[in-house]
Amino acid sequence: MRLSVTTVAAVAIFATTTVTNASAASGVAACSVTGASGSATFTNWTADYVDISGWVKDTAADGHHVAIRFRSMDGGTGWVTDWSWRHEYDGNGAVTSFTTYARPTGDDLDYIGVQVAVMEGSTIVRSCTDWA
């Protein structure tokens, strides 16, 4: 099997941030694209639970709305789960903040992060992802 340089780099990055059930960790993920910025802080992070507080901001008067969602990855399978979007519809300069938690049915929170997007309806116009 041939691995691309991108795949090898992703594996190297993720290998340093794995969380086990025996430890609770914290982290931050944040990114920006033209028109949107967002961030999430993660606390009490284990392989099967995490507290999340975050925000997304609309940074352009472009007629699009913005959104943020939590992402998680199972380190054993590489499976990425995209959780529900949180939208901001009030236009340029508006911010939506939230506090929540994630508790999947299995130990699937080996890697966690956020995706921030500029959207048209339910279609992503442009986005970025950052992992804690």
pLDDT single digits (tens) 26-46: 999 999 999 999 999 999 999
Q: For the chain, which residues make up each domain, given as ranges?
A: 5-131
CA proximity to 85, closest of 38, 33, 29:
38
pTM above 0.75? yes
Give the contacts of 78 (CB within 8 A, at least 6 positions apart).
none
Class of domain 5-131: mainly beta
What is the rounded CA–CA span in Å between residue 119 and residue 60? 12
Structure tokens at 69: 């969602």
- What is the model's pLDDT at position 1? 34
Region of 8 on the Ramachandran plot (φ > 0 left; ψ -120 to 50 alpha; else beta): alpha
Instruction: Give Cα 128 to chain centroid, integer Å.
Output: 9
